[in-house]
Amino acid sequence: MSEFEKLKIVTKYELLKQFRRKRFYGALVLTLLAVILVIALYKGLDIPGKLPISDSPEFFALFVTSAGATIPIFAAVFFAGDSIASEFEHKTGYILFPNPVKRSTLVIGKYIACLTVTALIVILAYVATMIALVGIYQQLPIEVFGSLVLALVYANSVLGIAFLYSSVLKGSMGATIATLLTIMLVFGVIEISLIFANIEPWFMHGYAGDSIASVYGISFAAFGGAMPGGGMERNPNPITSFFVMLGYFIVPFILSIWLVKRREML
């Protein structure tokens, strides 16, 4: 049996595991509630009326999907944080690892399953937004699809980072928290410092992630308010950002495979 056949088997059962967990359905419901809440706030508080910008389907989509930009982060961390670590922490590895299957196959299968469920959550958020767009404006700006692709690539990069921590750390909880801290705190601090130093942080994770919003082509200056670093616009190039985010997946993920191959089941 080829390793590819085994990869299909691993993926199938990892997916079964994901779909059996309440976590997945909880994430679906929370995502839907979050999107509905943001739409309600947008309309209820008349957000565009408070800004020097006119209401448009593009702005609506930008607001809803970027306010929901934390959804990809949480979804990815939620599913991936414990993917590797739990095999060690909860001792299921004693059953799984002594099998004629490469560790790399196990990691990749787990990743595909995590990516699938994460993508389902992100897609749900966008479908809800699209339904709202059609319902309210009878229009579907093409940029929404670009934003969706970028959101998926963004979520994927979070998966890569979560897999790395999950491969190194003892506990699932530690891996989850470390991933969130890295993305929201460490990367954030570096990025802001760069902006203050007047260097465009196009290579930073969060900045690239902002392409989820910048793809709509609405100037962020419209939001008013003081910009740090002498008013540099947060306007990441979507194409560059796409590849930057891919890098944030590939490097940690390869590292993760290498680490799991060597990791001892103590």
- Taking phi over 0 as left and psi of -120 to 50 as alpha, with beta for the rest, 141 belongs to beta
- 17 scored as a contact of another protein (CB under 8 A): yes
User: What is the closest distance, in whole angstroms, from the C-beta atom of residue 33 to another protein in the complex?
Assistant: 24
**Side chain identity at 79, as an amino acid letter?**
F
Nearest partner of 114 among 14, 5, 247, judged by Cα = 14
Q: What are the tokens at 223?
A: 């939001």
Q: For residue 265, give both structure tokens.
A: 């089941």
10, 106 Cβ separation under 8 angstroms: yes
Going from the C-alpha of 83 to that of each of 9, 69, 103, 106, the distances in angstroms are 16, 23, 13, 10
Binding piece for another protein, criterion CB under 8 A, among 68-76, 97-105, 127-135, 200-208: 97-105
170 touches another protein (CB under 8 A): no
The minimum distance between CB 39 and another protein, in angstroms, equals: 34
Question: Interface with another protein includes 2 (CB under 8 A)?
Answer: no
Cβ-based nearer residue to another protein, 116 or 237 = 116
Q: To the nearest whole angstrom, how small is the minimum distance from the Cβ of residue 94 to another protein?
A: 4
- Contact segment (CB under 8 A) with another protein among 86-94, 112-120, 165-173, 179-187 equals 86-94
Mark residues 243-262: x for contact with another protein by CB under 8 A, - for none.
-------------------x
Query: For the chain, where are the alpha helices, taking DSSP H only?
Result: 3-20, 22-44, 57-67, 70-80, 85-89, 93-96, 103-137, 143-168, 172-181, 187-196, 205-209, 211-214, 228-231, 238-262
Kindly state whether residue 136 participates in binding another protein, applying the rule CB under 8 A: no
Among 44, 49, 52, 98, binds another protein (CB under 8 A): 98
Q: Using CB under 8 A as the criterion, which residues of the chain lie in contact with another protein when the complex forms?
A: 1, 6, 9-10, 13, 16-17, 20-21, 90-95, 97-102, 262, 264-266
